[in-house]
Structure 1
Amino acid sequence: MPSIAYTYDFHRGRRLRRTAALRDLVRETRLTRDDLIMPYFVAETGPEDMVKPIGSMPGQNQLGMKAFVERVARAVDLGLKACILFGIPARKDPAGTQGYAEDGVVQRAVRALKARFPELVVVTDVCLCEYTSHGHCGLLDDDGRVLNDPTLELLARTALSHAQAGADIVAPSDMMDGRVAAIRSVLDGAGFEELPVMSYAVKYASAYYGPFREAAESAPKSGDRKSYQMDPGNWREGLREAAADVAEGADFLMVKPAGPYLDVIRQVRDAFDLPVAAYQVSGEYSMIKAAAQLGWIDEERVVLESLMGIKRAGADLILTYFTEDVLARLQG
């Protein structure tokens, strides 16, 4: 066959894709164990060694305190660098008092982790929804409306109790206006000026949270959270929320959920010079797990691709329930 005489030059991109070694050499975005934060659900609703499977989140469990520490120990052996804690208390009330109790489940969990793993970065979720009998993230008035300003004092009290227990980072997820300023003021006044605040700055009222509400037993008893979490159609509003939190003293900005809001992660990354976290939430996890169990996808490849997409969009840190699985793969 005669040779082809091209009258133009063209880009030979395949040269750098020819072998696995070449592809590794020129990879632009890399996922490492330093990027990942593992969420855990610590419960005082059963024995200390309780491992209670979460039906809608295969592979995830509510853990009694002893089982929780043992689970974290295995993850630390795999290279876990950071985790975030959610508590399920034995009792709830309208003011969520167990959320800021000195002997609350999260406070005890923090002490247990820091005593055994002092180098592990322990992040605590600061919210009231897991602790209130009505399931909302703040105090309610007689008509069932969430009260913003009275809730701020309780959120700040919760963050302070986590700091006193030894938390490395507090992460308010409630979406009350002014919560970062309130938390920063109380922490600074109590001598915790160096404790960072990771704000759930851009948190949407998402349908992807369903499995989490089973896991954390935090579904609202009435109504929904649309009056304080963001409308999924808005991205400019997200930048306003992030800017407000930066002005109030946030040290990290988080976008939640991650996968459906990759464009928002990029917008936040480009607009602000703070570390950006993204939460691959329970619904994202459960969909991948369900499809994998049906044999429709290759779970390992889809997990890594989804996390790479979040990282490529601009996230510095990723909160994901797949953390332990990825750590095992990275170690192998």
Structure 2
Amino acid sequence: MMASFKKRMIKVIVCYAIFIFIGQLMSLFPQSALPIFYDLRMFFMIFGPIYFMLILRIIHTFQNQKKEQGRTLLFTLLSFLFMHHSDHDLTETVLINKGLRQIHNGKTSPKANHFLNVFIPVCFYVLILEIMTLFICIATFAPLSNTISNLFIIMITFTLLLLILLPLILIFVSKFDTDQKTHKKKLDQAKKRAIASDTFVLESDPVCRQHYLRFPKFLFLMLCPFLFIISMIVLYLTKNVLYIESILLLRTPFLYLTSFSAVSFLPLLIYWMNCNGTSKVQRIYIHENQFIYTGYSGSMEERQEFSFALVHLDFFTVKKRAIWIKGSFMKKTKDSSGSHPKRMIHKRLWIPRTFSSKQEEVLLAFLKKMQDDQILHK
């Protein structure tokens, strides 16, 4: 450790000696008597070695892409930025630092590691170079013009945003992808265990699910973007002929259509997302007289798994897009904190018809048999 420090100090001293020697040679030029030239020569001797070492560090970073210095540098910077929270809310600071450590220690994909190990140090060194260049320009050429000042502000702000936001987004996406693969592996293992115990497992068929999602997708795209754009075009083309009464009558329905498409955007989007999510995560286990409907919502630490075990069937209805099952269910939920106590609920369960024809026949036959058995017992 001490030997390495001594070598680095020797390199720094040698580098400064070279730049000071070059700066002294520059004083031999006739222009050295000018104040601007003198300031530039001083800055060359003081900051020249720093520029040189930063450029060497950038080159060295590209040559050593496997060192995990990127994320360490990023989270050290972020922890420093969040230090001001300690004066206001200690709990908030603890939660932020805990979250940063979880992301930092989490597994990311090799591509993400490769990108972070190069991008973050290089971006940090470029940020230092920009700030130093701004300081030298202010001290030498003050006052700077508005154009140059705004250019420096934009460059520094853009670099700082890239340094903080882009790696965080990349780490989140990488962790999300890893979490999805881990959860899928967990579901596959649960399916294998269920099949080994003679349990029939029903899952959404990709072709049936794609056909099922056509209607909400078409409904959203047709009523929101398409209808809104057509209405706006008509309103724009007729804005200069408002003195014609027939044009005013023509604009009235398009005004209502524009308002309707804007208001219906969020509900239709929620409906589309609900159909997409429910049809993707649903799974049904059928074993003898047991019916368990399972699924989950959210991802990573926010994921909540749920299951509905059918205890008593009131009735079921087969509709064009879904199967409705009304009855009593034993609901069980589980999240990152663990399983929650079971509770009995009475509800109508909505099951999208995205199963294959064979699986749907098994499901309907089971529900019909369960309904007949309950009638006989009565």
Q: Which of the five TM-score ranges fits, normalised by the shorter chain?
A: under 0.3
Task: Report the structure number with the largest CA radius of gyration.
Answer: 2
Greater helix proportion? 2
Larger RCO (CA under 8 A, 6+ residues apart): 1
TM-score (norm 1): 0.19
